[in-house]
Chain A
């Protein structure tokens, strides 16, 4: 009997759960990158908030203290300048170098008073918030007294008492002017001190902001570095996996070609060795029968022998045809094919096969059915070759979302080898083609389990 070699499969050794193609899937970096981005954005937002807060603080400090102090100091200087002008005018009045009576200075004092009162009113609006109200009151009262005294002096001058007026200028007016000048100078000093304090606080704020800028930049650099390292690592893994995949594809292609050649060789050998010899034998028997005298008994015996040979040849042709393509799949569907194949396998290999079906059966697409069928064949062949088990279980489950095919034995299991045989590669590719998932597991009680899960979408995709 010619032997049609079944496709050989290397012992499956992968223990881990494999997705689709059975390869370990790299975890997507998106989640980590999004997390990193979120952390970065949060850090930027936090730092921006911190900076804005510091800037507002600086603005408050600058506007509230320094600018106000500066504006106030300018007005105090204007007041001081006016007080100096008063002093100079009084000096001129006392010097007597001008050929004019004391009353000539009335207009000049009026002008200074206008400007002074304007400056004092403005200064009151811009004075620092912590200015002592008593100081302002003192300034205002002293100025009032100064103008009163001045009016009395001009009154004396107008009545011709210039000498008395000059005495009063020396005794009263000049002293008041000096006191006022001192008070304004004190306010200027206070403003200056306050400005210095504010300046120190601002320098402190700047130093803090500078330190935090450095920290922030450092943190950002670390974050960028980590992200870059992660991306480099992930890319490297990706490239490695692509290389492995590519190598496997190449191996698969080579093995497919080899398998094709083997198949052709096997068919050729069968045709030559079996069918050629049979047809030659049939021809020789028919020739012998034609030369032999007509003997009904021997003729009948020859014809029966020819008939047996032809029947045997027909069986072999059918077996070969079935091996090349299980036509029964087209004729009676996957379940029917399974029902017909398993007893044959049991008979051929002596392995007892226990078949179990559950769930509401549905009609499988032909494209899906052939892959399920081949995976089942491959798994049983592996059992026959490698498992050293005399018993196998085939389970077919129809779930609402998938069809699950399990082939289990109670033999030696996959072991620890990481080698992938052609049979395993073939099963993986078939699982891929139907968008399915192939699981290879060592059973806890010993033995191996091959599970192919074909999702409903996989079936629809091939419908």
Chain B
């Protein structure tokens, strides 16, 4: 660490302590919205590793009515897995339909999603380009692909799509069009080779069993499935070069690190080097993480990467990378240099020290105060409920971080000032954002391990406005995943990418949000579609817009 980064970090910390009130307010509306969810990890004392790793959540508009709905992934009792009779209740993921009045209705049964499985994460994408988002729910065991029939129901097409017959400890997943053929392909992260039958005994005190760290298990490769366009997928894991049986992957994010227009992948690994898969444009990838400087920490250590997100948080036009790690490892905030390498700016930016005692999971860049600068939210919670006995400064339930971007490379954690009990300690895992009440501000959804889900409504206090942009591809994949939109204003240009994946086990809305602060309009909007097409619009006023590839910009 250089003296400059140290001083920068100190300055950022000093700023963090300034206690200035943020320009937004969060309100816990979980109960008011009618969301009654409790994660079932199946824990009964055996301390199976998956029990402490989930679940994920998602904001998505399953019925295409323009209002974001909520999906909460759930686990289940182990009875069906270990034949030990430990099942206590039937639990399934929950789908909540947005009633457009701030409340939600549980439509799980009706939607055909009351499927009992040990769910972990979710990735949402319209893989068949029919205009309705489909679901890939990852699990310990068999992942499931649910096709949205457009009439409010989901069909389990796992086997039909060629994704059946695979059992693994899957975690995050992501839809993206790696070969740019207009069809969404699927990447699934797998953690370790684990099964209840081959569980390993680990103990902190030498007596009682505790959750093992991943070193106790062999890694498992991620899977890459290419969309054939006929409803089936081809496993191209080996062919694409993604295969790596040593990986212990928990998070995946989309980016274009070399800005060549071809989607690259950042995969966060737990105790293994992170992977940055460079798309070689021929259906194969090359891992350049070591070369790019994102594989290890600054001191050459493979950290316990959990969640990951990528975004142009410094409005430089290039995407940076945030990765949550284990406690005492600090979050990583990799900023790109000009030579294709990244530098970890977490310490200098005030994120490192603030996150030192946190075990982070879900994380996301979003402009929570609509000031035109992407902020960073990270949710935390330990995996071991007895951790405080071992590390006095680390708790099992931990407060989330809400780092406000000061526009100069620095962040200050305002979670405690955000309101709504947002900073209350949680054993948080999943994190997603989406504007469920359509007020123009991104709201937050958090899941906790063996606990409740939290829905936080975000309200602007200083009148900041933004441009919301929903893209629909025609030549490109219909969800426009991979598209980049750039909004230009006198202060500079903001760029946002339409992404699946990111965070941890979770999926945020695909609609892009550009904060304009007090401005009425952006001078220019440029959309770079995955197909290569580029569209430009002038003088875009604050508000919500739809844009279909090759067509105009429409309000709504």
Partners in one complex: yes
Q: Which of A89, A103, A114 contacts B245 (CB 8 A)?
A: A89
Bound state CA distance, A406 and B192, in angstroms?
118
Interface range on chain B: under 10, 10 to 19, 20 to 34, or 35 or more?
10 to 19
Complex: A74 Cα to B243 Cα, angstroms:
27
Contacting pair B243 A104 (CB below 8 A):
yes
> Given that A100-B237, A104-B237, A104-B238 are known contacts, is A85 also in contact with B287, CB under 8 Å in the complex?
no
Q: With A100-B237, A104-B237, A104-B238 as given contacts, are A92 and B287 in contact (CB-CB < 8 Å)?
A: no
Please give, as numbers and ranges, the residues of chain B lying within 8 Å of A115 by CB-CB distance.
Answer: 273, 290
User: Most B CB atoms within 10 A — which of A74, A88, A89, A100?
Assistant: A100
A108 to chain B, nearest CB (A): 5
B235 at the interface (CB under 8 A from A): yes
187-229 of chain A: CB within 8 A of chain B: none
Contact B287 A107 (CB under 8 A): yes
Check B246 for interface membership: any CB of A closer than 8 A: yes
B112 interface hit (Cβ, 8 Å): no
Is the beta-carbon distance between A99 and B235 smaller than 8 angstroms?
A: yes
> When the two chains form their complex, are residues A108 and B290 in contact, meaning their CB atoms are under 8 A apart?
no
Q: Are B246 and A107 in contact (CB under 8 A)?
A: no
Main secondary structure of the interface of A (DSSP, over half): helix
CB distance from B477 to the nearest CB of A (A): 26
A93 (CB) vs chain B CBs: closest residue: B245
Cβ B246 vs Cβ A88 within 8 A = yes
Q: With contacts A92-B218, A103-B238, A105-B243 known, what are 8 further pairs, Cβ within 8 A?
A: A89-B245, A101-B238, A104-B239, A104-B243, A107-B241, A108-B243, A114-B290, A118-B290
**CA of A105 to CA of B235 in the docked complex: distance in angstroms?**
15
A98 at the interface (CB under 8 A from B): yes
CB distance from A173 to the nearest CB of B (A): 16
Smallest CB gap from A118: residue in B: B290
Q: With A and B bound together, what is the CA distance between A41 and B193 in angstroms?
A: 71
Complex interface: chain B residues within 8 A of A104 (CB): 237-239, 243
In the complex, chain B residues whose CB is within 8 Å of the CB of A118: 290
Q: B residues 240-271 with Cβ under 8 Å of A?
A: 241-246
Q: Does A111 touch B at the CB level, under 8 Å?
A: yes
Contact A108 B237 (CB under 8 A): no
Q: Within 8 Å CB of B41, what residues of A?
A: none
Q: Does B221 contact A (CB under 8 A)?
A: yes
Distance in angstroms from B297 CB to nearest chain A CB is 13
State the Cβ distance, A72 to closest chain B Cβ, in Å: 14
Closest residue of B by beta carbon distance from A115: B290
B218 touches A108 (CB 8 A): no
> B244: which A residues are within 8 A, CB to CB?
107-108, 111
Across-interface contacts of A92 in B (CB, < 8 A): 218, 245
A372-B384 Cα distance, complex, nearest whole Å: 108
Alpha-carbon gap, A74 to B273, bound state (A):
16
Chain A residues with Cβ below 8 Å from B235 are 99
B241, A105: Cβ atoms under 8 Å? no
In the complex, the chain A residue whose C-beta lies closest to that of B219 is A88
Query: Looking across the interface, which residue of chain A has its beta carbon closest to that of B299?
Result: A74
Question: Looking at A74, A92, A99, A108, which has the most chain B CB atoms within 10 Å of its CB?
Answer: A108
Neighbour of A108 across the interface among B239, B246, B273, B300, CB < 8 A:
B246
Binary contact readout A91-128 vs B (1 if CB under 8 angstroms, 0 otherwise): 01000001111011101100100110010000000000
For the complex of A and B, list the 4 residue pairs with the smallest distance between their C-beta atoms, beginning with the closest: A104-B238, A100-B238, A107-B241, A104-B243
Which residues of chain B are near A78, meaning CB under 8 Å?
A: 300
Instruction: Check if B290 sits within 8 Å of A105, measured CB to CB.
Output: no
Instruction: Using C-beta atoms within 8 Å of the partner chain, give the interface range for chain A.
Output: 10 to 19
Q: How far is the CA of A108 from the CA of B273 in the complex (A)?
A: 12
Whether A98 and B290, one on each chain, are in contact in the complex, defined by CB atoms closer than 8 angstroms, is no
Scan B211-235; emit 1 where CB is below 8 A from any A CB, else 0. Answer: 0000000110100000000000001
Contact among A74, A88, A100, A103 with B218 in the assembled complex (CB-CB below 8 Å): A88
Q: Output the nearest chain A residue to B235 by Cβ-Cβ distance.
A: A99
Residues of B within 8 A of A (CB): 218-219, 221, 235, 237-239, 241-246, 273, 287, 290, 300
Complex interface: chain B residues within 8 A of A103 (CB): 238
B218 (CB) vs chain A CBs: closest residue:
A88
Task: Give the residues in chain B near A98, CB-CB below 8 Å.
Answer: 221, 243, 245
**Is the Cβ of A111 less than 8 Å from the Cβ of B238?**
no
21 A-B pairs in the complex with CB atoms less than 8 angstroms apart: A78-B300, A88-B246, A89-B245, A89-B246, A92-B245, A99-B235, A100-B238, A100-B243, A101-B238, A103-B238, A104-B237, A105-B243, A105-B245, A107-B242, A107-B243, A107-B287, A108-B243, A108-B245, A111-B287, A115-B273, A115-B290
Chain A residues, Cβ within 8 Å of B245: 88-89, 92, 98, 105, 108
- A residues within 8 A CB of B300? 74, 78
Alpha-carbon distance A104/B221, docked complex (angstroms): 11
Q: How far is the CA of A104 from the CA of B235 in the complex (A)?
A: 12
Q: Which residue of A lies closest to B277 (CB)?
A: A107
CB-CB < 8 A to B221: which residues of A? Answer: 98
Chain A residues with Cβ under 8 A from B219's Cβ? 88
Residues of B within 8 A of A89 (CB): 245-246
Interface centre among A89, A104, A107, A118 (most CB of B within 10 A): A107
Smallest CB separation, B176 vs chain A (Å): 19
A114 and B290 CA atoms in complex are apart in Å by 9
Tell me the nearest residue of chain B to A104, going by C-beta.
Answer: B238
Q: How far is the CB of A78 from chain B (nearest CB, A)?
A: 8
Which residues of A are found within 8 Å of B273, using beta-carbon distances?
115
A99 to B218, CA, bound (A): 17
Give the chain B neighbours of A74 by CB distance below 8 A: 300
Q: Which residues of B contact A85 (CB under 8 A)?
A: 246
Of the candidates B241, B246, B273, the one having the most CB atoms from chain A within 10 angstroms of its own CB is B246
Report the Cα distance A115→B218, complex, angstroms. Answer: 19
Q: Which residues does chain A contribute within 8 Å of B246, judged by CB atoms?
A: 85, 88-89, 108
- Chain B residue nearest in CB terms to A101: B238
Q: Considering only CB atoms, which chain A residue lies closest to B287 in the complex?
A: A111
Q: How far is the CB of B431 from chain A (nearest CB, A)?
A: 30
Residues of B within 8 A of A101 (CB): 238
B221: nearest chain-A partner, CB-CB = A98
With the chains together, A74 CA to B301 CA distance in Å? 10
Provide the bound-state CA to CA distance between A417 and B243, in Å.
Answer: 118
State in angstroms the CA–CA spacing of A108 and B241 once bound together.
Answer: 8
- Complex-state Cα separation, A98 to B246, whole angstroms: 12
- The CA of A92 and the CA of B237, in the complex, are separated in Å by 15
A101 to chain B, nearest CB (A): 7
Which residues from chain A contact B287 at a C-beta distance below 8 Å? 107, 111
> Considering the chains assembled together, what is the distance between the CA atoms of A103 and B239 in angstroms?
9
Query: What is the CA–CA distance of A76 and B273 in the complex, to the nearest angstrom?
Result: 17
Query: How far does the Cβ of A88 sit from chain B's closest Cβ, in whole Å?
Result: 6
A87 to chain B, nearest CB (A): 11
Q: Which of B218, B235, B243 has the most CB of A within 10 A?
A: B243
Closest CB of chain A to B356's CB: distance in Å? 22
Closest residue of chain B to A108 (Cβ to Cβ) is B244
A118 to B242, CA, bound (A): 21
Q: Please provide the chain A residues from 53 to 108 with a CB less than 8 Å away from any CB of chain B in the complex.
A: 74, 78, 85, 88-89, 92, 98-101, 103-105, 107-108
Cα–Cα distance between A78 and B287 once the two chains are bound (Å) = 18
Complex Cα distance, B218 from A92, in Å, reads: 10
Closest chain B residue to A100, Cβ basis: B238
Name which residue of chain B comes closest to A84, CB basis: B246
Q: How far is the CA of A89 from the CA of B287 in the complex (A)?
A: 17
Give the complex CA separation of A98 and B241 in angstroms. 15
Most chain A C-beta atoms within 10 Å of own C-beta, residue among B241, B242, B245: B245
Complex CA distance for A88 and B1, rounded to whole angstroms: 34
B242 contacts across to A, CB distance below 8 A: 107
Query: Inside 8 A of A99's CB, which chain B residues have their CB?
Result: 235
Smallest CB separation, B217 vs chain A (Å): 11
- Report the separation of the CA atoms of residues A100 and B243 in the bound assembly, to the nearest whole angstrom: 9
Q: Mark A307-339, 1 if CB is under 8 A from B, else 0.
A: 000000000000000000000000000000000
> Closest B-chain residue to A119, C-beta based?
B300
Distance in angstroms from B145 CB to nearest chain A CB is: 18
Alpha-carbon separation in the docked complex, A270 to B245 (Å): 139
- List B contacts of A88 (CB < 8 A): 218-219, 245-246
- List the A side residues contacting B243 at CB < 8 Å: 98, 100, 104-105, 107-108
Interchain CA distance A107-B241 in the complex, whole Å: 6
